[in-house]
Structure 1
Amino acid sequence: MSEWQEVTLDSVAIINPTESLRKGQISKKIAMDALQPFTKKPASFSLEEFNGGMKFRNGDKIVARITPCLENGKTAYIDLLDENEVSFGSTEYIVLRERNGISDKQFLYYFSISPIFRDVAILSMTGCSGRQRVQTDVVEKHLFDIPPLPEQKAITAMLSSIDDKIDLLHRQNQTLEAMAGVLFRQRFVEDVQEAWDAKPLNSIANFLNGLACQKIPPKNALDRLPVLKIRELSSGISDSSDWATSDIKSQYIVENGDVIFAWPASLMVKVWDGGKCVLNQHLFKVTSDEFPKWFYLGWCRYHLKEFIAISASHATTMGHIKRGDLDATMVVIPSDSEINAMSEKMVPLLDKQIANAKQIKLLEKLRDTLLPKLMSGEVRLDYD
């Protein structure tokens, strides 16, 4: 097998390649908010007038260069554009493009999310606290050990196969959630029976608000758990997550499969899959001793748009809903036999989503274990 070479980054990657977009041209914009931590593909894009920003095309990598986005792992591989289409995004991106015959486009993505690259980029950051930026000129001239192109492709094949499986499971879960939503609306919204009772949402489930976790710090490194805040609900537990003591009442412990409702600002309802943690204030843990999980989860999701509108109407710096809004939100309660019949359809859909989420976490752990070993040469792959 060929030996790795010590080279500067700009000798294997084109840094911030030149592209052209007319000012005012309607183009796809990939905003910083569309990048999820250590997630290969951007979550979304919008069509907007181009008035400035970094430009890129399919195959390029966009790396956040500002704190805390870089530390949080906001890096993406672009593959959602049409052929020869140019997109744009934040001025706080570094764009990486492969050099033909020297580097593999997907290898550069995995390289850019590895500690080999990230540690150098983070150490190069300068500026005032909270607004530090990567010094691109320092990073592009830094020496890195890079494998030959055939080994790059072998590394890419292994890591991308894992990411492809993760992406497939995410898409399966989106489909399963959509199917559950359709079944729920058809039966309990569009086909309501006159004999069914109507009750407030908070009468079918308990909405437990979390703790002020900054007041319960861990007493030692063993008896502690990560804190689940709105950020973690959206992006998962990370190295920057806070910790709290685990010596608390059990109802404030969040486990995989629990329904979590974020009630201020960016309202969302999710089935948690990020491991054991402590429920922070501004989040509800939703449970019920009377009704199945799919039932109260379905009603929370059905009314989410309404709650978002209520939150936006509140004249506060951080929109939110109140417990009174839960009192005022009505749901219908079918007969026990109807709930049992629907459970036969809904429970398998929810169980499959939870199982897929568990598989995703295992695959992510495998990928994250292999990544630094492959990028450092600790683990070598055979290739033709």
Structure 2
Amino acid sequence: MQEPSKRLPISSSSIGVTFLGTASAMPSSTRNHSALALRLGSDVWIFDCGEATQHQIQKSSVKMGKIEKVFITHTHGDHIFGLLPLLAGCLNGAGGTAEGVDDPRTQVNLKEPPLEIYGPLGTRAYLRNGLKFTHTLFGRPFVVHELRFPNDPETQDYTELPPHPAESPAGRNIPQIDGVWPEIYKDDVLSVSAAPILHSVPCVGYVIIEAPVPGKIDPRKYIPDIKRTKTPMSVMRTLQEGGSVELSDGTVLQGPPRRNGRKVVILGDTYDPSPIVPLALEADLLIHEATNAHLPGVDLATKDVDSFETVQERAISRGHSTPQMAGAFAKRIGAKRLILNHFSSRYPGDDDVNPFAKKIMDAIANLAAAEYGDTVLCARDLMSVELALPPQ
């Protein structure tokens, strides 16, 4: 595991998700390919990076310059084709200069903090080949960490190409431990763990956990003693953090106990995410795909020969889930909130302005809610949601 970095605590209202693309396989006029941005205070982490993600970011409130990490769930094109352009946008990438003209990007300072990329085997090879044969240069470094499955080679990268001039040599090949990848990243405020989830190709789900946060403080319990002993009011900062303060008369004040931070579970494509259950329990937010749904009487393209069972069988055969499967999994892990994502292009994404689209997406949400037992939200492109701290 890398050395912990310093990160400012995240305020109670500044963890959020912006959905940059919510389509499955083929984009549509109302849904782009898969990508979302996790907003963590002033920093941004991208999860999956389908085609035109960079363009979607430009349409959103997400700032390119704030992106510090990218997490890829699997290497299907609709989840990774936008990674090269995104890196070019973030790292001052271009095709170089004419012969005989110096370009400082040919000599990148690899000691600078790199933009970090996490993904399964093949992520590093995809980037090296794409950068090599497009002659792309970067002005800042990047590093690729690969999550290796048990049958993956320990050291090989699926390519004979050498590292790109901007690729940091600090990239790790991270082995599984007891079937998961615990704490592939950790600092004082956040940690990320991962687990395999079942799809048609090797696929990963990610769990982001915020470290315990200060409890709610009642100043009335402390101020009388602080004033009585003429102690500087600045000690309230220590108490707010859950620490203790000994006053001049020997009285010890103890701040409120810390409470759990937030947990976000972001799944890639899957027909069965069971391996991630131990990491995902009691998630504050679960983002789960719901590619296919049976919507008789709602979706005009519904086939007479189809049923809930046949649609589910077809979804599973292609490595995907239905809304009911997503709702059942959310209930299984005790998720406090469920957002559906990754919809077939037949389901329109303009349900905020199109009554017919709203009818379809409401029906999809209701199918999941019937299994989950609570309200379900269907994501659409450029939608943002905020995740507040759990109650005291």
Q: Which TM-score band (shorter chain)?
A: under 0.3
Q: Normalising to structure 2: TM-score of the pair? A: 0.24
Output the TM-score relative to the length of structure 1: 0.25
Higher helix proportion: 1
